[in-house]
Structure 1
Amino acid sequence: MSESAAPPAAERSPSRLTAVGAALRRYVSRNPVAIIVAVLVVASAAATGSLWGEDALIWGAGPLATFGSGRWWTLATALVIPDSAIDALSSVLLALTALAAIERLVGSRRTSVFLVVIGLSGLVVGIGLHAAAWTITDLRPVVAAEVPVLDPTTAIAGAVMAGSAFAPTLWRRRLRLVGFALLALFALYAGDADSWYRLSAAIIGLVVGALLARGRERRSWHRSSTRETRTLLALLVAVVGSGPIVALVSGGGRGPLSLVVDAYTQYDDELLSQCGRVASSVCDEQIALLMTRGAGPALLAIVPLVLLLVAAWGLRQGRRSAWIVAEFVLVASAVLPVVSLLDGRLRIDPWVDGSGAEYVLWAIATIMIPLALAAALAVARARFSVRATRRAARVVAAVVSLAFLACATTLFVVEAIGHRAFDRDVSIFDLLALTLRRFLPPAFTHPGGSTAFPHSGPALFAYQWIGVLFWAIVVAAILWLYRRSRRPDTVDDGHYRDLLRRGSDTLGFLGTWAGTSHWYSEDRECAVAYRLSGDVALAVGDPLAPEGRRAEALRGFTDYCVEHGWTPAFYSIHGETLDDLIALGWRYVPVGVETVMDLPGLTFAGKAWQKVRQPLTRAEREGYTAVWSRWHELSVGQASQVVAIDEEWVADRALPEMGFTLGSLDELRDRDVRLLLAVGPDERIEAVTSWMPSWTAGEITGWTLDFMRRRTDGPNGMMEFLIAKAALELQEEGATVLSLSGAPLADDPDEAADDDPAPLRALLRWLAEVLEPAYGFASLFRFKGKFRPRYRPLALAYRDPLELPVIGAAVGRAYLPDASRREMVALARTAWEGRR
């Protein structure tokens, strides 16, 4: 752990620049088409001026621009030239990410063909549908007058959907589900021609990809129907919630479902312009909304949409509270417009030509879609079974109630004090009605009669923002509630230890440690030990299962996690378990190496064992003995010495003590754990190790090293002495395997270096470098290499690459669960000093 081991900063910087340069060269060599598309988009935007905001529509395609004017070349330019800087940026990002991923899947040549053929086909079909829709009288009001289209994402969308047929099942579903949801969102709500052309190209690409991928062998990938249902319904709720926002941002939208935005605007411009010809009460209402427009009322108007987006987040995780929120908002959004229509407070005038299409579209967007989605959620109610704790639910109910009382009281008092800001005298009943109204979006009120409102001052400010403040508290409370889920009962009845004794691997005993829960199969013959860190279930070590049932246990535990809204991950698993998970479509990253000594026939003779034999013979010559014991067998004095050695070790580093797969004093107290003490001639304990058992058919056949501590002022070689004595004496007892445990974040020296590591593996390597000065993982790994062990790689298996950030954070919390701020600062300082 010496500082000289770290390279100087001057040497590190060039190597990092070299690594970055090599990564860029690899990216360019693997994705030439994506790079060319990005360059073409930027160059064409600069050449035509659209990058600087100039009008480049002369290069766009459309029914009139392409067919009517005979500018056939616009079919090519419309797929390359963006119409704005934002369009250029989005096209470049899509090219360098999604298109690049497809290029690596299908190859550069096929990607080029997809871009040209599917892009042109989508554009031609889109133009044809645009022209056909314009000839239908009933659709004219929702078909925009022609604005020539410039959109490189049309070709990119078609190529990505065609290439998705060749992706693994996980990414194929993700690309198609998310891709078509976004494309349909813009087409149905924003409704511009660009959106429909992109959707046409994507559909053509989907068909082309399906035809080309026929008969192609696909790897199976297990995913429970519960997870699929949650993901799909959450996505639909998010689309319904974000669709009106898209239409509002696009200026009201022209899509067939954009009529729903009328329910989320602050005031009715058309009705306001007719104030001279309608009842004064209606004028008062519209003038009130006009006078109080601004950021606050705008935010209050879209509260239902925000609640739907928040609910979608929780639905994906199976939260029952999110299901309740979504059902309430969807039903209210559908029922209240009907009530307003029936009592005459809401009017829909037919188009000038008398078409009834507007009624149909309004009913679909405002009533039918929310009700249909609410019904689907009701049918799938059992899928959203992750409940919050009763205490958390009571806390949220109390917070929301107190927030409402505080906000309502504040608004009432401020309005009462500032009554002069109103256009007329207001009674207490008027103030009460006004107070209640300001907590509901305008679409949910539509009051009849005269409405009082403030014109200026604190009363106007409170009128605008109190409701927003209350709903912000509600949203924060809901998000907090998502993190407070009930945990299943995990009473340890000793059954896990019974399964361990039936047969277990070298790291199986980790599943008995405090903080670890257990999953059992229905017949209780299979078990998985896991540690819940946030919403991530970290399975520790290999599952316990009879011969041939390991894959069944892996699937059962995964389904159990999905049911409870957790993200499953298997940590520190060996190759046999990893093979089963890979067959199920899981991915993995190395996280360490276990060092194992095979005891049959072991002797420390020969030159190769000199580094072990010398400390052993020296310690024996100087009168040191290795004493086997268990914690409950130690005398008070011996236990005190062990505690003092551990406290000295921790205090010397002033760093947080790690846990999870690294044992501490608490794990030494287990009656199945054996201690081996290095005792000097003066009866002083110089070092201590602990050993965890592993069984085969009910017999102990192996021991695993866990706890290692020695006095800082003691003689050198004590650990070599204890491990060598343990190997020899356990060999005599009949043990066949002695595991020196895993070295976290270490690489197998027998494994070839990976020139293109996965992002998480690169992160773990960097983390190992940072933590080395503090914890010495690499030094410990080199120390264990003295015993000429057999190396067994340890891996972290995960299903979804997008889950890696939360899994990484969960691993960090598991290793450092109780670290204080001072300890984390000390860790950072030690890591920094070690890297200088």
Structure 2
Amino acid sequence: MTQSQSKPAKPVKPSMESSVKQSVKPLFGFHALLADLAAWLRRHMLTVCFVLAVTFVNVTTRILCAFIRQPFPPRLARVSFEALTRGRWYTAPISMLYVPDLGRLFIDIPLILVAFGLTESVIGKAKTVWVSLITTLGGMALGMGLCSLSDGHSPQWHAISHDGAVLGPLILVAGTLMCASAFTAMLWRRRIRVIGYAVVLIMFLYRGEASDYCLLAAAMIGHVLGYLMSSATHGDEYRHGAVYEMRRLVGVAAGVQAIGSLVAVSSRQSFGLLSTFGLLTGSTDFDTGRVIDCLNGASHTDCFTQYRMMRLTMPGNWLVSIMPTLMLLLIAWGLYRGRHLAATLSIVFNACTIALSTVFYVAIPLSYVDGLDAGAYMDAISALQRHGAFHAMLATMALPLLCIVIIILFRACFTIRTKSETVLRGIAITFAAFVLLGLLYVGYGLSMPSGFNETPLLVDLIADYVQRLLPIGLLSGVEPAFVPVGLLSEIVYQCVGPMFWLVALCCAWGGLRDRSMINDAYRHRVDEIIGLGGESMSFMATWKGNDYWFSATGRSAIAYRVSYGIALTVTGPFGDPDEYEDDLRAFADFCTQRSLTPVFYSVHAEQRDELVSAGWNALDVGTEMVIDPAAWQTRGKKWQDVRTAINKAKRDGITDVLTTFKESPFSVQTQIREISAQWAGEKALPEMGFTLGGVDELVDPRVKLLYAVDADGKVLGVTSWLPTYENGKVVGWTLDFMRHRTDSVNGIMEFLIARMAERLRDEGKVRFMSLSAAPLAGMDGDGMEQSAVLDHVLQMVAHIMEPAYGFHSLFRFKLKFHPDESKVYICYPDAAKLPQISLAVAQAYVPSLTPAEAMRFVRTIMPAKNE
């Protein structure tokens, strides 16, 4: 039977499966969230079962203990050397299922869900089980061993020897999470370890129970185990991060200091090395009569305990103890946002803590000793040593000193400055509050002596006013000169401290919030002017870190940075093109009036000619690559590499997406940050700035983002494009940010640049597409004779920095697209300033170079020298 004679085929009925698929409707809103939660639970059954087991064991036992009137947790849940030597080995695994009280479940359960869930996703269920077993047993052995090395009278020693310690379920999680972090992406690996160690160290330093020793030991063992298991990724280590990432990590570290004091305050047992920094509680009841007896000369062994309890029972003193913690949290937030003021406040605040700890632990007790009696003085020092005053002082000073060192080492990360007017106003208001509240307190004490147990003297009132501003933990060993006995006196006594700290917090908040940034008003004007006109790289003038000069009409401006007495511009003038010629002269006069040397950097030929005709020197510092989108094509042999990249991307299912950073999905934003951090970690020198943008410059909604993504949603490479305006319309786009994964396919950047050119050609709305200029690359040394020194210096810098940044490689890469070449120049008026100009250019590009990075940089270039 031929095909023409065949009967028409009957329609095939859809199968049951296809019918079901067609009837399924996509889920939205709450139902979609429930579906996602159910899917997560199915994928993480090990985590879910463990959480349910911990919850069931603790809740059931707590109910049973309440019914039989026994303490919770039961004795069976406490592990100790005594129990282990008697064969009760089962106390160890049981102890890991219990928490000291049910309230801890609200903290431990979310941590377990996040940490164990992540671990189960990264290394799988089987590895999660045996890694958890290894790290837990090792952590318990090492942690209890560390406790046993301490003095036999320490509370940790008694806990692990006789009383027993509740280990808690977090010990099963900490080491496993640290091990799994070795298998995550570079950015997340660093975040997990920093935040994980921050939580563990808070417990260890400020609470210091035996279980915290085991927790820290388990985390360290897991870290080492992950390093050994992931040997294939050893070459992917972080040398240093991008500025935005480093400032966030420093902010997290500063948050440890703030939260740690709260842990010490809230913990029922504060045995940590730094618990004295926030230790405020005690077990003795406060007795007002006994305090007055002590002040009247009666000798009681618990007088100083009563003094402390007296301060503790006053709500105002509690607020004064909490408000410095709020200030530390506010400073940590400012550090996280990269605020220079937060770095300064952190140094000042921690320096004051160090000074106060010295005064209250040592200086004040020694002030009661007759300084002329050398024997009594030495006896007093020995007494302080015996009673732990020096230990407490050093413990209190340790973390503030470490924070100061960290801030100084990473000071280049905190570049966002606050207006000087805002800073000065905040200082003035804070000082005025200090003086006015002091006058109020002293004046009330002198005018109402009946409100205190004895008539206060002027000196005692002033000294006591200072104490009203300090956390009561620092005043544990200080005898009060008097105590309030009336209601009004107690109100004044307790309110001056909180009022001062409230004013200080408000001033700090005003200086750290976003709208107080330096040049914020100027930047708003810049955003308006940039739309009037500019050159291909003029949009870089809108970036943070620049100062601005505005023309008399306000229709044009110049962005610049000052260092070493040099005002180094970010390209030439922008705004109204009719004013550019006058702007060059006016800006030079502006700098001269302020004893600055103007230097125009990355200007084009037109402005160079104007300056050279006025007697300036000029030297080319790079070559800008410009493409005409209307003429874009990839035909011919010379375009073979670009065509190959485009075809390969299409075959591999790679697509390009044109959007902005804020409009892109959160997963894409995270991957872009990860790619940038990975790129920065491969460099021997820190991430550059000035005319080279980073992730911080991507968030501007005017900047376009073109990224390549595969079929699985993995971002392989990303580019950013800066607009050039003319009368409010975009007339060109300039390439800036250009990063890709180390394991991405070859040709991904060629694909992205070619796709951008195709898009602009098809739109037909812009005149040019600039590939920007590779700094210090493409120089041909055609400057003036007197510029030979600077020419040689810049060429030498370019040669030395090539192994670290690959400027010349970037220059050769851009030649693949056969662009039109346009020189950019540096113009300066005085050849005597060449040393400062060289330093200013280097400082602008690499403002955060540290000695350690310089040594890595030297090691990077050594092979090149040997060759």
TM-score (norm 2): 0.54
* Cα displacement string for residues 425-466 of structure 1 (whole angstroms, at most 9, x for unaligned residues): 446666555545433445677998872332121221121122
Tell me the residue number matched to 2:546: none
- Following superposition, the deviation at residue 189 of structure 1 comes to 2.0
Cα gap change, 1:137 to 1:253, in 2 (>3 Å): closer
Q: Distance in 2 between matches of 1:696 and 1:173?
A: 33
- 8 Å CA contact 1:34, 1:100 repeated in 2: yes
Q: Which consecutive unaligned segments of at least 5 residues does structure 2 have?
A: 1-23, 369-377, 540-554, 561-569, 572-600, 603-620, 627-658, 673-678, 736-759, 767-867
Aligned length in residues: 576
Cα gap change, 1:47 to 1:346, in 2 (>3 Å): farther
Q: Which residue of the other structure, out of 681, 696, 705, is the alignment partner of 1:573?
A: 705
- Following superposition, the deviation at residue 162 of structure 1 comes to 1.1
Amino acid at match of 2:517: S
Tell me the residue number matched to 2:11: none
- 8 Å CA contact 2:286, 2:310 repeated in 1: no
Tell me the residue number matched to 2:256: 239
Amino acid at match of 2:186: T
Cα gap change, 1:44 to 1:406, in 2 (>3 Å): same
Q: Residue 165 of structure 2 aligns to a residue in which SS?
A: coil
Tell me the residue number matched to 2:177: 160
Q: Distance in 1 between matches of 2:277 and 2:480?
A: 26
Amino acid at match of 1:393: V
Q: Residue 102 of structure 1 aligns to a residue in which SS?
A: helix
Cα gap change, 1:411 to 1:247, in 2 (>3 Å): same
Tell me the residue number matched to 1:212: 229
Q: How does 1:288-367 map to 2 (within 5 A)?
A: 290-292=309-311, 293-340=313-360, 341-345=362-366, 358=388, 361-367=391-397
1:122 and 2:139 correspond: yes
Tell me the residue number matched to 2:88: 71
Q: Residue 163 of structure 2 aligns to a residue in which SS?
A: coil
Q: Distance in 2 between matches of 1:313 and 1:373?
A: 14
- 8 Å CA contact 1:222, 1:585 repeated in 2: no
Amino acid at match of 1:102: T
* Cα displacement string for residues 670-711 of structure 1 (whole angstroms, at most 9, x for unaligned residues): 6475xxxxxxxxxxxxxxxxxx655899xxxxxxxxxxxxxx
Cα gap change, 1:72 to 1:142, in 2 (>3 Å): closer
Q: Residue 177 of structure 2 aligns to a residue in which SS?
A: helix
- 8 Å CA contact 1:386, 1:564 repeated in 2: no
Tell me the residue number matched to 1:390: 420
Cα gap change, 1:433 to 1:60, in 2 (>3 Å): closer
Q: Residue 763 of structure 2 aligns to a residue in which SS?
A: strand
Tell me the residue number matched to 2:499: 469
Q: How does 1:14-33 map to 2 (within 5 A)?
A: 16-33=29-46
Range moving further from structure 2, 400-409 or 332-341: 400-409
Q: Residue 232 of structure 2 aligns to a residue in which SS?
A: coil
Q: Distance in 1 between matches of 2:473 and 2:484?
A: 20
- 8 Å CA contact 2:433, 2:503 repeated in 1: yes
Q: Which residue of the other structure, out of 532, 535, 543, is the alignment partner of 1:498?
A: 535
Q: Distance in 1 between matches of 2:427 and 2:384?
A: 50
Q: Residue 485 of structure 2 aligns to a residue in which SS?
A: coil
Q: Distance in 1 between matches of 2:293 and 2:86?
A: 46
Amino acid at match of 1:20: L
Cα gap change, 1:451 to 1:353, in 2 (>3 Å): closer
Q: Which residue of the other structure, out of 740, 743, 763, is the alignment partner of 1:738?
A: 763
Cα gap change, 1:349 to 1:306, in 2 (>3 Å): farther
Tell me the residue number matched to 2:203: 186
Q: How does 1:164-179 map to 2 (within 5 A)?
A: 164-179=181-196
* Cα displacement string for residues 349-387 of structure 1 (whole angstroms, at most 9, x for unaligned residues): 999999969466434312344334434434544443322
Amino acid at match of 1:468: P
Tell me the residue number matched to 1:55: 72
Q: Residue 128 of structure 2 aligns to a residue in which SS?
A: helix
- Following superposition, the deviation at residue 57 of structure 1 comes to 2.9
In angstroms, what is the RMSD of aligned CA positions? 5.7
- Following superposition, the deviation at residue 346 of structure 1 comes to 8.0
* Cα displacement string for residues 99-124 of structure 1 (whole angstroms, at most 9, x for unaligned residues): 11221111222222223332233233
Amino acid at match of 1:26: A
Q: Distance in 2 between matches of 1:696 and 1:331?
A: 46
- Following superposition, the deviation at residue 153 of structure 1 comes to 1.1
Range moving further from structure 2, 53-62 or 424-433: 424-433
1:42 and 2:42 correspond: no
Q: Distance in 1 between matches of 2:35 and 2:177?
A: 27
- Following superposition, the deviation at residue 85 of structure 1 comes to 1.6
Q: Residue 35 of structure 2 aligns to a residue in which SS?
A: helix
Q: Distance in 2 between matches of 1:267 and 1:256?
A: 23
Cα gap change, 1:577 to 1:134, in 2 (>3 Å): same
Q: Distance in 2 between matches of 1:585 and 1:206?
A: 30
Q: Which residue of the other structure, out of 265, 270, 285, is the alignment partner of 1:248?
A: 265
Q: Distance in 2 between matches of 1:672 and 1:325?
A: 42
Tell me the residue number matched to 1:89: 106
Q: Distance in 1 between matches of 2:556 and 2:660?
A: 11
- Following superposition, the deviation at residue 166 of structure 1 comes to 0.7
Q: Distance in 2 between matches of 1:294 and 1:480?
A: 29
Q: Distance in 2 between matches of 1:237 and 1:214?
A: 32
- 8 Å CA contact 2:254, 2:328 repeated in 1: yes
- Following superposition, the deviation at residue 73 of structure 1 comes to 1.8
* Cα displacement string for residues 267-312 of structure 1 (whole angstroms, at most 9, x for unaligned residues): 9989998997898399999877655532211221354444333322
Range moving further from structure 2, 56-65 or 137-146: 137-146
- 8 Å CA contact 1:221, 1:584 repeated in 2: no
- Following superposition, the deviation at residue 559 of structure 1 comes to 10
Q: Distance in 2 between matches of 1:215 and 1:198?
A: 28
Q: How does 1:778-817 map to 2 (within 5 A)?
A: none
- 8 Å CA contact 2:291, 2:307 repeated in 1: no
Percentage of identical aligned residues: 19
Q: Distance in 1 between matches of 2:660 and 2:421?
A: 25
- 8 Å CA contact 2:77, 2:95 repeated in 1: yes
- Following superposition, the deviation at residue 67 of structure 1 comes to 0.9
Cα gap change, 1:240 to 1:104, in 2 (>3 Å): same
- 8 Å CA contact 2:159, 2:165 repeated in 1: no
- Following superposition, the deviation at residue 215 of structure 1 comes to 1.0
Range moving further from structure 2, 135-144 or 26-35: 135-144
- 8 Å CA contact 2:340, 2:415 repeated in 1: yes
Amino acid at match of 1:467: G
* Cα displacement string for residues 600-655 of structure 1 (whole angstroms, at most 9, x for unaligned residues): xxxxxxxxxxxxxxxxxxxxxxxxxxxxxxxxxxxxxxxxxxxxxxxxxxxxxxxx
- 8 Å CA contact 2:206, 2:264 repeated in 1: yes
- 8 Å CA contact 1:403, 1:473 repeated in 2: yes
* Cα displacement string for residues 574-616 of structure 1 (whole angstroms, at most 9, x for unaligned residues): 236999x98788899xxxxxxxxxxxxxxxxxxxxxxxxxxxx
Amino acid at match of 2:536: L
Q: Distance in 2 between matches of 1:401 and 1:473?
A: 10
* Cα displacement string for residues 27-75 of structure 1 (whole angstroms, at most 9, x for unaligned residues): 1222111111111111222332379876233332423364133112223
Range moving further from structure 2, 315-324 or 227-236: 227-236
